[in-house]
Amino acid sequence: QKEVEQNSGPLSVPEGAIASLNCTYSDRVSQSFFWYRQYSGKSPELIMSIYSNGDKEDGRFTAQLNKASQYVSLLIRDSQPSDSATYLCAVNIGNSNYQLIWGAGTKLIIKP
Amino acid sequence: ETGVTQTPRHLVMGMTNKKSLKCEQHLGHNAMYWYKQSAKKPLELMFVYSLEERVENNSVPSRFSPECPNSSHLFLHLHTLQPEDSALYLCASSSGYGTGGGEQYFGPGTRLTVT
């Protein structure tokens, strides 16, 4: 059974601090890794994708991938109250460009 | 219209009704998806179509019937649903090819309540 694990939270972070979200996955063959943000009552929105080991930065967001340890993380710098949402980690199955396994999400709360 | 659209946004139906959910993507993508999202559970992939051919069908009950007439439109026909089918139904699309081909873009969803 291929799985993606995330801490459900809630993760509470003060405004302006760095929020760190983690995700582990079981399929060693996975090549594509995604972070989605989902506000309450809304649909998931893609915020980062990463395909190679190391860091990928986009504005205040940094995705980190370590295939040897099978984890992917998302750092949010200078956290804002508008970052409060559930963050979903998704990983492709094997070589598929269609099948993603989804984590249940981590709820992030940014405290003003 | 831009991105991925879904109609209706909210639907209440009885267990004996027949209804359809509609999805349209304006991104020029080749693949379209139906997902079910229930509270506190991971997204469940229901169906995947690539170039109008179904490529995945994850053991979904026959009371859910997908239809993909072309690469821009996707339907989910519903009949004889159960109360446990109440959930948020999400449509997504992706290009399906090359690096970035697996990036999926979601519509706003249909909140379905079965009474």
pLDDT in tens, B57-67: 778 999 999 99
More confident residue, B100 or B67: B67
Using a CB–CB cutoff of 8 Å, tell me whether A1 touches chain B: no
Nearest CB partner across the interface for B90, out of A43, A96, A105: A43
Cβ–Cβ of B102/A34 closer than 8 Å? yes
Q: Which of B31, B42, B108 lies nearest to residue A43, judging by beta carbons?
A: B108
Three-state secondary-structure class, residue B84: helix
Q: Alpha carbon of A48 to those of A70, B6, B13, B47, B91: distances in Å? A: 17, 24, 37, 24, 19
Task: Decide if B42 touches A, using CB distance below 8 A.
Answer: yes
Report yes or no: A40 at the B interface, CB cutoff 8 Å: no
The verdict on a CB contact (< 8 Å) between A98 and B48 is: yes
List of residues 6+ apart from B54 with CB closer than 8 A: B47, B48, B66, B68
What's the CA gap between A56 and A69, in Å, rounded? 17
B22 pLDDT exceeds 80? yes
- Contact list in B for residue A105 (CB cut-off 8 A) is 42
Pairwise CB contact (< 8 Å): B103 & A49: yes
The answer to whether the Cβ–Cβ distance between B45 and A103 falls below 8 Å is no
Instruction: Report the residue of chain A nearest B57, measured CA to CA.
Output: A99
A65-85 pLDDT tens trace: 999 999 999 999 999 999 999
Give the Cα separation of A5 and B106 in Å (integer): 22
Mean pLDDT of B84-109: 92
Look at residue A82 in the predicted model and tell me its pLDDT: 97
DSSP single-letter state for residue B16: T
The pLDDT of residue A2? 80
Instruction: Return the residue in A88, A98, A102, A107 with the most chain B beta carbons within 10 A, the one to mutate for interface testing.
Output: A98
B45 at the A interface (CB within 8 A)? Answer: yes
- Token digits for B99? 């690096």
- Residue pairs spanning A and B at CB distance below 8 A: 59
Nearest-angstrom CA–CA distance, A10 and B12: 31
For residue B33, the chain A residues in CB contact (below 8 A) are 98
Q: How confident is the model at residue B1 (pLDDT cuts 50, 70, 90)?
A: low
Strand-pair partners of B91: B34
